[in-house]
Amino acid sequence: MTEQAHQKIALVTGANKGIGRAAAERLAVLGMTVLIGARDRRRGEETAAALRAAGGDARAIVLDVTDQVTVQAAAQRIEAEFGHLDVLINNAGITGSGRTSPMDATDQIPSTVDLHMVRAVFETNVFGLIAVTNAMLPLLRRSPGPRIVNVSSHAASLTLTSDPDGPFAALLPSAAYTPSKSALSALTVQYANELRKDNILVNAVAPGYVDTDSNNHTGHLTPAQGAAVLVRLATLAADGPTGGFFSEEGPVPW
């Protein structure tokens, strides 16, 4: 297949709303076929239909990152319909605190946290990322320029969160969401190290404080603004970075 004839296929998990949807919209504008990963079939189909109405090529795909059956079914469908995958954006995630920002949630204080909640957060934010990435790797290896983008948070930065005079000093400690995103950062580095020889670029991104359901719409950035760094890392040139952690402003300290 020539580069000119190669149609780029992108899968975005948790793409029916928020940052994931905004990233999917932008990738569709750039000419990619975008697969809208969503747990809810109806919501995924509605999002895909909206992107097609705007002129993009979008398809809904049922994908619950905590359900290995749907993960494998999604990989099999992509294999059957396209034979490859160029971009994987691991965007799906949960806060563990309902509609309250996890960084303001008293139920995540380490000394009193409910371990069931911690396990649920890690099941989606960490183990779900591994499940989806591993299922999609055979398809990504067939791309001439595969990219993996893992959606993290500034709160994942041990440098920032450990500074008593830093930007997170006033926020409550978290035993669930924040550590799960730190683990995601560590996984990003390990995948990047393993896949460097395959020319698969793997990076983590911090979208910023975006107006989404996860913070009860208190964020000051629009989903499109938050998605900009996702799209930038998803469309890196061959000499782009791998194993990094970036926001729209540049590298984020580990």
Catalytic residue among 8, 17, 181, 209: 181
Catalytic residue among 8, 177, 191, 197: 177
pLDDT in tens, 33-75: 999 999 999 999 999 999 999 999 999 999 999 999 999 999 9
Is the confidence at residue 2, as pLDDT, over 50?
no
pTM of the model: 0.93
Mean pLDDT of the chain: 92
**What mean pLDDT comes out for the span 128-154?**
97
How remote is the C-alpha of 171 from its chain's centroid? 24
**In 10 A of CB 159, how many CB atoms?**
10
Q: How far apart are CA 219 and CA 224, in angstroms?
A: 12
Q: Where are the domains of the chain?
A: 9-251
**What mean pLDDT comes out for the span 189-214?**
86
Residue-level pLDDT at 212: 57
177 is catalytic: yes
Return the CATH class of domain 9-251: alpha beta
209 is catalytic: no
pLDDT in tens, 72-112: 999 999 999 999 999 999 999 999 886 567 767 899 999 99
pLDDT in tens, 234-246: 999 999 999 999 9
